[in-house]
Structure 1
Amino acid sequence: MFTAFARAFKTPDLRKKLLFTLGIIVIYRLGAHVPAPGVDYAKVQQCIDQSDSGGLLGLMQMFSGGALLQITIFALGIMPYITASIILQLLTVVIPRLEALKKEGQSGTAKITQYTRYLTIALAVLQGTGLVATARSGALFQNCTVREQIVADKSIFTTLVMVITMTAGTAAVMWLGELITDKGIGNGMSILMFISIAATFPGALWAIKESGKLADGWIEFGTVILIGFVMVALVVFVEQAQRRIPVQYAKRMIGRRSYGGTSTYIPLKVNQAGVIPVIFASSLLFIPSLIVQFSGSTAGWATWIQDHFVTGNHPYYISVYFVLIVFFAFFYVAISFNPDEVADNMKKYGGFIPGIRAGRPTAEYLSYVLNRITWPGSLYLGLIALVPTMALAGFGGANQNFPFGGTSILIIVGVGLETVKQIESQLQQRNYEGFLR
């Protein structure tokens, strides 16, 4: 990886792209530390030192690079865009109009991207309003003594200014991501997501060292680093694993020319769903505690939810979390990969799997193979997501949103591998000497 970056910096046009990407990253990180209007920054820092957050709030805090709880102009980060993208992807399967746009190629994709932008702004308004209302009421920090003084001016005008500022910040983040995609290296949104998560690593690791008891915390610190390297190696191994189904294309005569007769394969990844099931499961498990928090009830059902579905280390929470990840893995694979459509396209262009008849038998075979490899992929996702809860609970009170947790490691490794692949492919295009050598 380091060799690829070194070679890229020696290539003038790639060096410009890398420097442009680094410049956008610097702007993004600066915006993550500029407080929103009406926020007492000193009180916020005091509350952050006294409080801890998990669940969906912790997930959003991670995706915002620590900007959410600091209530900055980029507090919402890229979470509205991620949510909008997932919603549009799910609706594509349900709404025929969106499905038709998806099949139109580049023009249809551009239209869906435009819908995603509109939905991102709408979600940013909703999430910004919720964040401001939570900060004004003091519910953003449960254990802070000055939590109600974070937003001193509780007038409607100040609230509107804060919501508009955060919505504009989300639009700016979306624009910065698209700039990276157009003029930089890699997928812009993925790069910003990578930076947001990586920005929380140093502080979280140092907190573990400070809370450790063995050799001033260095033993705990080293153990967590070692576990992190093992998890990264495991994730890289599984993320690169795929089942390659061979496909043969028959020769066809069109006029005087012969087409086809080539061999290729369909790559089916073991983790076909990526990090989406973990995000879905984390969001869904946060709903019960959110209901209890806003209802203010002290009844038996509320106490039971607080005891079993808030801390994240209860056996009930762990079991439900694991089952939800497995379920959403199968659900997302089912809606994102259509064996019937793939089989029809293969039949249309004269392709077939050796030993399998074209048409319906091919679709059934693809569905069978996909179900077989989704099982280990979903179990792997569940285990990776639960490692912090089961193995790191003794080091600084880690939860499912710990930096070496499933969501963060999957995103960092996935984005890192994809970015390096893009750099290497562009290097090959510029250094390819063909058969003249």
Structure 2
Amino acid sequence: MSDRAERPEGRRGLRNRILLTLLVIVVFRLGQNLPTPNVNVRALAEVPKADNQLHWVLDLLTGGALLTLSVFAFGIFPCLAATMVLRTLINLIPRLAALKAEGEAGARLLTQYRRRLTVGLGLLGAVGVVAAVAGHTSPGAAGQGRDILDDHGVLPLAVMVVCITAGTAVVMWLAEAITDRGFGDGVRILLLAQVVAVLPAEFLRLGQAKGGAAIAVMTVVALSVVVVTIFVAQAQRRIPVQYAREMVGRRPYGGASSYVPLRIPQSNGPAVLASILLYLPVLATQFWPDAAWLKWATSGLRDEGTPWRMAAYFVLVCLFALLRTAGTIDPDRLAHEIARVGGFVPGVRPGRPTAQYLGYVHHRITAVGSVYLGGVALISALGLALLDAGPRFPFGGVTILVVLVFLVGVTLDTAQQIDVRRAQSDYERLLH
């Protein structure tokens, strides 16, 4: 009878986590569509949307919330930026590096710093956005301009800043709620939610501009990226480790064998960085249109289908991926940990030779992983080249890559967490 009582509890816990994750996503999307006080929604709807890369990059990073001045205007972007800034400061400031090494107590203090930095970035961005739109008008139906803001007083503008900053804090709390009481990483899930929210309109515009053949091409591209990403994400290089056998009395202990799994990191950061870096010269021509060297530099970078741009894109993605994954594993520390527990790699002497062997394998995997990321990024660029989509087309290749890699990564992580939770509940039920 007790076994039957314990079984629904485990299933109920899984169901509650799934429902909580879905509820947080719904609240997050509602906040991204809720306008900030003092915003004239009708006038904002009349503002023409620029059909360029900057527009869809803002939509990608904020789920379309920034261009509509919603309460969650910045989406999950402040949380991502705060994490990246804090990670950089940890490598630069010894005090923060010491906190990271202190364990749980240091992690709690770093979490407080990350939260404060997130709210600070939200406040800074809110002040900038409110100041930018304070004097902006939109063309009315009769040709007369209409103010986007209902009131330009100090108090209404301050209320807008407070609402957007509070929205940043709420988004941070929602992400932490998913991480602690839901499934998966809250930041990644909310980022995926706001990116996927932009896709239906972009697919509709793609079909209207290029026809049904474009949808077929993008479907093939998407399936190719998904299959390759899943295959590589599940692959691992297992380095065998043998543990020494010890005699305690008359009984032998130890002698078991294990392995060190090395995987190719899944990241679309290199593709995003490469796309932004290639777009900077094009953006610079808007400020210095008469610069001859900028015209020459951007002549082969404007169109995503040119061989020069695709070659530069592939090289940059491989380079950024190589730099990102080069220091993910410390061979000396890993070799020391293996020797500390009495293990050794068969055929390799313990100590420095083991560290050199681990470094050699890691470097080869890093090289293969960088070429893989460059190839996956190039698949989406080739798809746009087949569609003859110019650089001002709002559905960029990096968008496809970001969405698909995030979709595969979040799906695999969530499925693994569900399996682990289910195994834990079944194990606890058997113990009772």
TM-score range, shorter chain: 0.7 to 0.9
Q: Does 1:279 align with 2:272?
A: yes
Q: State how far apart, in whole Å, the 1-side matches of 2:285 and 2:274 are.
A: 18
Match of 2:17 in 1: 17
Give the match's secondary structure for 1:392. helix
Matched residue type, 1:431: D
Residue in 2 that maps onto 1:177: 175
1:423 aligns with 2:408: no
Partner of 1:28: 28
2:86 counterpart residue number:
88
Please state how far the C-alpha of 1:10 moved relative to its aligned partner: 9.3
Matches within 5 A, 1:279-358: 279-293=272-286, 295=287, 298-304=290-296, 307-309=299-301, 312-358=304-350
Structure 1 segment 134-173 matched on structure 2, within 5 A: 134-135=132-133, 149-151=147-149, 159-173=157-171
- The structure-2 alpha-carbon separation of the partners of 1:191 and 1:286, relative to structure 1 and needing over 3 Å to count, comes to same
Aligned counterpart, 1:238: 232
Residue 374 (str. 1) matches residue 366 (str. 2): yes
Encode CA deviations 1:385-435: one digit per residue, 9 max, x unaligned: 233332124276556745862222111110111001101111122234899
Q: Which residue in the other structure is 2:378 paired with? A: 386
- The Cα of 1:321 is off from its aligned counterpart by 2.9
Does structure 2 retain, via aligned residues, the 8 Å contact 1:211–1:396?
Answer: no
1:219 partner SS: helix
Per-residue CA shift, 1:221-244, capped at 9, x if unaligned? 233223312221121112222211
1:61, 1:67 within 8 Å by CA — same for their partners in 2?
A: yes
The 10-residue stretch of structure 1 (91-100 or 305-314) with the greater mean CA deviation from structure 2? 305-314
Match for residue 121 of structure 2 among 123, 145, 156: 123
- 1:52 is matched with 51
Write out per-residue CA displacement over residues 330-389 of structure 1, whole angstroms, 9 at most, x where no aligned residue.
211123322222222222222222222222222222221112112221122122223333
Distance 1:330 1:93, change over 3 A: farther
After TM superposition, the structure 1 stretch with the greater mean CA deviation from structure 2, 244-253 or 225-234, is 244-253
Query: TM-score, normalised to structure 1's length?
Result: 0.82
Structure 2 CA distance for aligned equivalents of residues 345 and 94 of structure 1: 26
Check the 8 A contact 2:217/2:383 in 1, yes or no.
no
User: Helix, strand or coil: the match of 1:51?
Assistant: coil
Contact 2:65 2:72 in 1 (8 A): yes
Encode CA deviations 1:205-256: one digit per residue, 9 max, x unaligned: 22222223xxxx3333233223312221121112222211122233468999
Residue equivalent to 1:226: 220
Q: Indicate if the aligned counterparts of 1:80 and 1:123 stay in contact, CA closer than 8 A.
A: yes
**DSSP 3-state at the match of 1:244:** strand
Tell me how far 1:196 sits from its aligned partner: 1.4
* Residues paired across the two proteins, number: 419
Distance 2:404 2:413 in 1: 14
Identity %: 39
- Matched AA of 1:198: V
The 8 Å contact of residues 232 and 413 in structure 1, kept in 2 or not, is answered as yes
The amino acid across from 2:50 in the alignment is S
Deviation string for 1:123-153 (max 9, x for gaps)?
223333444455557699xxxx999954575
Map of 1:189 onto structure 2: 187
In the alignment, structure 1 residue 408 sits paired with structure 2 residue 403: yes
Aligned-partner Cα distance in 2 for 1:107–1:100: 11
Greater shift, 359-368 or 24-33, is seen at 359-368
2:51–2:394 Cα contact (<8 Å) kept: no
> In the TM superposition, what whole-angstrom CA distance separates every residue of 1:19-65 from its partner, at most 9, and x where no partner exists?
111111110010010122343333443446x422425x634421322
**Contact 2:229/2:405, CA 8 A, preserved across alignment:** yes
Task: Structure 1 unaligned segments of length 5 or more: list them.
Answer: 1-6
Q: Secondary structure at the match of 1:335?
A: coil
CA contact (8 A) 1:197 1:403 kept: no
Q: Structure 2 CA distance, aligned partners of 1:151 and 1:211?
A: 34
- Cα gap change, 1:376 to 1:223, in 2 (>3 Å): same
Amino acid at match of 2:402: T
The one-character-per-residue Cα deviations of 1:77-131 (angstroms, maximum 9, x if unpaired) are 1112112222333333343333333333322222222222222223223333444
Higher relative contact order, structure no. (Cα contacts within 8 Å, ≥ 6 residues apart) = 2
Query: What is the alpha-carbon distance in structure 1 between the residues aligned to residue 298 and residue 195 of structure 2?
Result: 28
Gaps of 5+ in 2: 1-6
TM-score, normalised by the number of residues in structure 2:
0.83
Paired residues for 1:105-120 under 5 Å: 105-120=103-118
Structure exhibiting the larger radius of gyration computed from Cα positions: 2
Q: Is the 8 A contact 1:201 1:403 kept in 2?
A: no
Instruction: Provide the rounded CA distance (Å) in 2 between the counterparts of 1:424 and 1:208.
Output: 38
Q: Report what 1:3 is aligned to.
A: none
2:203 alignment partner, one of 205, 216, 219: 205
List per-residue Cα deviations over 1:1-28 (Å, max 9, x = no partner): xxxxxx9999222111111111111100
The DSSP-based 3-state class of the residue aligned with 1:357 is coil
Q: Check whether the contact 2:192–2:406 (CA below 8 A) recurs between aligned residues.
A: yes
The more displaced of 84-93 and 124-133 is: 124-133
